[in-house]
């Protein structure tokens, strides 16, 4: 998904307005839906699922597409476990 930015507001504000949470506050290249964050919170609080395990499960469900995208964005290997 591509989001068009304008100089009237920050990229982070624009993403939040579009229902996405930016991975970084400045020049974000990756964002998460609030639904995904809510799902992670539920698994974290109710099942004590780590971020790494949650991402692994999402990877299985999405046929590992998230890791392919991360590689094209040149995400450092150490950060991959948080995607």
pLDDT higher at 74 or 52 = 52
Task: Give the pLDDT mean for 32-59.
Answer: 89
* pLDDT score at 19: 87
Task: With a cut of 50, say whether residue 78 has pLDDT above it.
Answer: no
Task: With a cut of 80, say whether residue 75 has pLDDT above it.
Answer: no
All residues at 6 or more sequence positions from 58 whose CB lies less than 8 Å from its CB, including other chains: 36, 66
- pLDDT tens by residue, 4-33: 777 788 888 888 888 899 988 888 888 889
H/E/C letters for each residue in the chain? CCCCCCCCCCHHHHHHHCCEEECCCCCCCCEEEHHHHHHHHHHHHHHCCCHHHHHHHHHHHCCCHHHHHHHHCCCCHHHHHHC
Question: Which of 12-16, 17-21, 44-48, 54-58 comes out lowest in average pLDDT?
Answer: 54-58
Helix axes 51-61, 65-72, angle to 10 degrees: 110
pLDDT higher at 79 or 4 = 4
Q: How far is the C-alpha of 15 from the C-alpha of 3, rounded, in Å?
A: 7
Number of Cβ within 10 Å of residue 15's Cβ equals 19
* pLDDT score at 73: 61
């Amino acid at each position: 998904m591509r989001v068009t930015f304008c100089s009237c507001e920050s990229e982070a504000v624009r993403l939040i307005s579009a229902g996405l949470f930016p991975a970084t506050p400045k020049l974000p290249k990756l964002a998460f839906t609030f639904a995904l964050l809510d799902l992670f919170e539920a698994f974290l609080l109710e099942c004590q699922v780590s971020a790494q395990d949650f991402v692994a499960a999402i990877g299985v469900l999405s046929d590992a597409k998230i890791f392919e995208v991360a590689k094209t964005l040149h995400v450092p290997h150490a950060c991959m476990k948080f995607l």
